[in-house]
């Protein structure tokens, strides 16, 4: 049992701790080694010196180079050696910001000096999973970007994964909590110089790149994957594995720190925006459970792509994307794939269970799997999950003329139809009508790996010109599948057409001459 410390002894320990904290206040390497037994390498010390020189900084170095650790250890030293500071650690989700706060909490736990320097109130140390306060009245707290933090009065802002943060929320709700010249309870001698520390990687959104382009932030020395290998802080074999595993643009952004963005059918920035919309709306990933029926928020549709089809039949997977319309937004609460070569009976059984859970209003599936879909429709009716017996339609045969009337309607994903479906999916994202439940794509739980693949497949599709009036579509990176993309097309098409798969599509084209494009003949526009 720990010895009980009286108030007088506690005050004495606090004074001793303060003396030790201030002993090496001007030396980053010595301070961290002396106070909490962490040795910074040369690159980390240099970044700390850079942060001393600039109040507002950005570090978008390669993953796993320790940029977050350096930022938070610099913040810890700053609030420990400067009284009356308020550090707000902000990330898209509070759980992510708590991970950053743990750099501080772990330092306190391994340091008798910092432990003795914690504030005591009502006989309790002021330290929890989301917040702590030091004896000099400086405090640190973790927030999610959507938290109500208007009442905070921060002097130091620490922002993580900024490309996943809604830009308007970041500016209007978080950054505006800083900058006050007066702080209640603060000593007149305390420093009040707002500082903003930003870390993250480029993800194809505009938030981080816009902050850099604005010129208000000093960019810290960038360490890319190759420099990290040379410095001995990154494992070369792991980086090479990532090079072969990641999409080329993703590798260039997150590991080589190059601001490239895909400009394929669906632009990456619109996909990131859909994730931030999902974050702002607090959309949740659906978790199908047996014996439970999900409460619907609007029209809901299934989009299904059959395995063994498409560009690479041997690696093609069965895929399902659930699409739900909420107001003017199209959301994607659940996606699922089955391994290549999965037995149709297994897929059919799972689809029945998912139908029971989601109770979709419409469903469209790839006609390549019409045999399984025929059986599926019969079993859905037999179990009372649908009201339509497809065998009562027409002559009861499985023919293209009857498919559109089935509850789970087969549709050929080809030609003009596929073009229209792909363009409709694109318009949902490019018109800012898409919302995807947010997740941290660096710490993806097993149940969201399909969602991660979905996010990677969406921007990987490239339209290819043909001799016809419509385009065909291929994968920009052949290593990534297209099954979830195709399933998403079907789901959005089902919502758009209300399940009427045989809707006729008309494509209009608009042509302009060189002079017209320059504005010399603004009224002479030809329609073909």
DSSP string over 114-151: HHHTB-EETTEE-B-SSEEEBTTS-EEEEEETTS--TT
Predicted local confidence at residue 111, as pLDDT: 97
Q: In terms of pTM, does the model score above 0.75? A: yes
The three-state DSSP-derived secondary structure of 42-62 is HHHHHHHHHHHHCCEEEECCC
pLDDT tens-digit series, residues 75-119: 999 999 999 999 999 999 999 999 999 999 999 999 999 999 999
Residue 301 lies in a domain: yes
The whole domain housing 174 covers 7-221
pLDDT tens-digit series, residues 440-462: 887 889 999 999 999 999 999 99
The answer to whether residues 217 and 277 belong to one domain is no
pLDDT tens-digit series, residues 481-511: 999 999 999 999 999 998 665 555 444 445 5
The answer to whether residues 301 and 208 belong to one domain is no
Tokens 């979905």 sit on residue: 454
Average pLDDT over all residues of the chain: 89
The answer to whether residues 186 and 278 belong to one domain is no
The answer to whether residues 322 and 453 belong to one domain is yes
What is the Cα–Cα distance from 404 to 88, expressed in whole angstroms?
A: 55
Residue 311 near residue 473 (C-beta atoms within 8 A): no
The answer to whether residues 311 and 448 belong to one domain is yes
Residue 359 backbone zone (phi > 0: left; psi -120 to 50: alpha; other: beta): left
The answer to whether residues 203 and 55 belong to one domain is yes
- Whether the per-residue pLDDT at 397 is higher than 90: the answer is no
What is the Cα–Cα distance from 62 to 253, expressed in whole angstroms?
A: 8
- Whether the per-residue pLDDT at 417 is higher than 90: the answer is yes
Report the alpha-carbon angle 282-289-291, nearest 5: 125
Bridge-based pairing of strands 131-133 and 139-144 is antiparallel
How large is the average pLDDT for residues 24-28? 97
Predicted local confidence at residue 54, as pLDDT: 97
CATH number at residue 74: 3.40.50.300
Alpha helices of 262-314 — where are they, by DSSP H? 268-280
Comparing C-alpha atoms, which of 309, 311, 354, 301 is closest to residue 489? 301
Q: Is 57 helix (H, G, I), strand (E, B) or coil?
A: strand
The answer to whether residues 212 and 276 belong to one domain is no
Residue 526 lies in a domain: no
CB atoms within 10 A of CB 517: 9
The answer to whether residues 194 and 273 belong to one domain is no
Number of compact structural domains in the chain: 2
């Amino acid at each position: 049992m720990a010895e009980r410390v009286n108030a007088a002894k506690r005050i004495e320990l606090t004074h001793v701790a303060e003396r030790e904290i201030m002993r090496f206040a001007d030396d980053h390497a010595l301070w961290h080694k002396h106070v909490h037994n962490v040795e910074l390498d040369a690159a980390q010390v240099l970044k700390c010196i850079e942060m001393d020189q600039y109040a507002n900084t950005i570090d978008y170095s390669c993953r796993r180079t320790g940029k977050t650790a350096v930022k938070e250890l610099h913040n810890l030293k700053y609030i420990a050696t400067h009284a009356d500071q308020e550090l707000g650690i902000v990330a898209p989700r509070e759980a992510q910001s708590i991970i950053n706060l743990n750099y501080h909490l772990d330092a306190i736990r391994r340091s008798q000096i910092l432990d003795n320097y914690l504030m005591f109130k009502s006989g309790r140390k002021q330290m929890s999973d989301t917040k702590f306060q030091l004896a000099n009245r400086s405090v640190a707290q973790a927030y999610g970007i959507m938290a109500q933090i208007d009442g905070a009065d921060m002097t130091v802002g620490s922002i993580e994964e900024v490309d996943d943060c809604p830009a308007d929320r970041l500016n209007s709700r978080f950054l505006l909590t800083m900058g006050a010249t007066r702080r209640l309870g603060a000593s007149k001698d305390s420093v009040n110089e707002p500082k903003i520390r930003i870390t993250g990687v480029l993800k194809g959104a505009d938030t981080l790149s816009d902050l850099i382009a604005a010129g208000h932030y000093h960019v810290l020395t960038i360490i890319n994957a190759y420099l990290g290998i040379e410095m001995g802080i990154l494992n070369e074999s792991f980086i090479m594995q990532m090079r072969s595993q990641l999409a080329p643009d993703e590798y260039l952004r997150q590991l080589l720190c190059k601001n490239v963005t895909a400009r394929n059918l669906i632009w990456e920035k619109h996909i990131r925006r859909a994730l931030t919309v999902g974050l702002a709306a607090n959309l949740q990933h659906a978790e199908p459970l047996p014996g439970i029926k999900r409460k619907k928020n609007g029209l809901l549709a299934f989009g299904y792509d059959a395995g063994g089809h498409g560009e690479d039949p041997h690696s093609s997977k069965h895929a399902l994307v659930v699409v739900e319309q909420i107001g003017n937004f199209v959301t994607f609460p659940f996606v699922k794939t089955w391994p290549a070569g999965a037995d149709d009976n297994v897929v059919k059984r799972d689809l029945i269970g998912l139908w029971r859970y989601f109770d979709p209003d419409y469903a469209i599936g790839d006609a390549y799997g019409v045999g399984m879909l025929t059986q599926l429709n019969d079993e859905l009716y037999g179990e009372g999950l649908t009201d339509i017996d497809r065998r009562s339609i027409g002559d009861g045969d499985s023919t293209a003329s009857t498919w559109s009337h089935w509850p789970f309607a087969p549709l050929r994903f080809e030609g003009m139809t596929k073009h229209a479906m792909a363009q409709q999916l694109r318009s949902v994202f490019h018109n800012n009508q898409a919302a995807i439940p947010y997740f941290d794509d660096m710490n993806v739980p097993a149940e969201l790996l399909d969602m991660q693949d979905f996010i990677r497949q969406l921007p990987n599709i490239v339209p290819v010109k043909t001799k016809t009036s419509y385009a065909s579509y291929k994968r920009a990176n052949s290593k990534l599948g297209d099954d979830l993309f195709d399933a998403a097309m079907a789901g959005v098409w089902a919502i758009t057409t209300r399940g009427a798969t045989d809707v006729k599509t008309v494509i209009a084209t608009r042509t302009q001459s060189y002079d017209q494009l320059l504005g010399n003949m603004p009224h002479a526009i030809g329609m073909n």
